[in-house]
Amino acid sequence: MIHNKEIKALLQKFALNQCNAEELDRLILYFKNAEDPSDMPDLEKLTTQLELLEKMDNESSDKIFQQIIAIGNDQKKSIGNSSSKIKPVLRYTAVIAMVMGLATLFYFFNSQYVPNKSVVVDSPNQNREASEVVTLQLQNGEIEVIAEDGTSEVMNNNGDIVGRQKGNQLSYTAKKPSDELIYNTLKVPFGKNFELVLSDGSKVHLNAGTSLRYPVQFIPGKDRQVFLTGEAFFDVAEDQNNPFIINSGDLNIRVLGTKFNVSAYEEDELTEVVLVEGSVGLYNKNEEFQKDGFLLAPGNKGSFDKDRNTLDSEKVITSLYTSWISGELVFRNMTFENILKKMERHYNVSIINNNLDINQEKFNASFRNAPIEKVMEYFRSIYNLDFAINGKEITIH
């Protein structure tokens, strides 16, 4: 049991994603220097507490594991660049990561934690440092870190290789059809992109801050269904007999084979679908797809208003919505408020805007592989914005 009241208070803040960098350093230093054996749980106690994760909803347990990953990331054993099976992240984390993760779990259950209620945070961009690695969550709940400069193999419960990773691409291989859908979840943090090839050959480019849940192997005769939070560009392999359906919150997107971009970040008011080629149908998740329903034509954008539950479409220049794939940052007739959201995701930074008068002002600009300093200098020179950069925090005065 932890006796230090200050540390207890910091652990509570940590569990709620409210610790700043200085407070997190104090926690780590405390456990590194702990002399009281009761402050350092043994592996048996840790394992017991980790089993409690099964009682938690996925969103809450994912947040805890992301934080454990981040804390232990710098101390994990290097697996190098050679090919090897991805190891569960907990095998690499040092004692401090285990203690911090355990302390978080203790807080949840000792505070009369109620299942199916997620942790409330002030902002979706808060504590961004807690997730700076690409992770893969397996069907059994194990979370594995993907080293973008290495290669690895993904295996199923039978020890069969179902996917191979090389660099920033993970590809699954078509195997003998199974009777049961087995899901993996790929999560890409702020500041990174990643490419996924599904077992049917469909390609998915995942933008920063994106999560995609998908079957390891599709089953013939059943819809090819995936679940998206964030933004991704889909190049779907054509299959007239097995429609491809993307679930993005309250909106479903149904295709047979086509190329399109979906932006479905939780904090955005709209879910946007931009069709490059082919045809897609948009419909509410609580409704059945209708062939004569809301269909997009190439070169059009469909916008789903989450609050009003309405769909609209308009003609657009599709390249403006897919330029992120090549590292380009494009703002076209975009409000400053939305520009800041996009920059936070793209650069993995936190931006505090104290100049609220310009939040709804609209801007136009393009940047290709530019550092954030250059982007901010552009706004300073053109629009006379005053700002300060302190590490990963930017303040606009």
Taking only the tens place, the pLDDT of each residue in 58-109 is 444 455 545 544 544 444 433 333 334 444 434 334 444 544 454 444 444 4
Provide the 10 A C-beta neighbour count for residue 337: 13
Please give the pLDDT value at position 10. Answer: 64
Q: H helices of the chain, where?
A: 5-15, 21-32, 43-50, 58-73, 95-110, 319-322, 336-347, 372-383
Please give the pLDDT value at position 137. Answer: 94
Q: Phi and psi of 29, rounded to 5°?
A: -60, -40
Q: Could you report how far apart the first and last alpha carbons of the chain are, in Å?
A: 45
CA atoms of 339 and 362, how far apart (whole Å) = 9
Please give the pLDDT value at position 66. Answer: 52
Contact 232, 205 (CB under 8 A): yes
Please give the pLDDT value at position 94. Answer: 43
Total-model pTM: 0.68
Please give the pLDDT value at position 178. Answer: 76
Please give the pLDDT value at position 258. Answer: 94
Contact 239, 199 (CB under 8 A): no
CA atoms of 354 and 352, how far apart (whole Å) = 6
- Of 201, 162, 210, nearest in space to 325 by CA: 210
- Domain map (residue ranges) of the chain: 5-110, 133-320, 327-396
Contact 232, 274 (CB under 8 A): no
CA atoms of 185 and 170, how far apart (whole Å) = 12
- Helix/strand number for the chain, H first, E second: 8, 24
Domain covering 133-320, topology = Jelly Rolls (2.60.120)
- If DSSP codes are grouped into helix, strand and coil, which group holds residue 325? helix
Q: Which residues of the chain have pLDDT under 50?
A: 1-3, 37, 40-61, 65, 68-69, 71-96, 98-100, 102-130
Domain covering 327-396, topology = Phage tail protein beta-alpha-beta fold (3.55.50)
Please give the pLDDT value at position 160. Answer: 84
Written as one letter, the residue type at 354 is N
Which residues neighbour 306 within 8 Å (Cβ) at sequence distance 6 or greater?
249, 250, 269, 270, 271
Please give the pLDDT value at position 248. Answer: 96
What distance lies between CA 115 and its chain's CA centroid?
22
101: left (phi over 0), alpha (psi -120 to 50) or beta: alpha
Please give the pLDDT value at position 383. Answer: 82
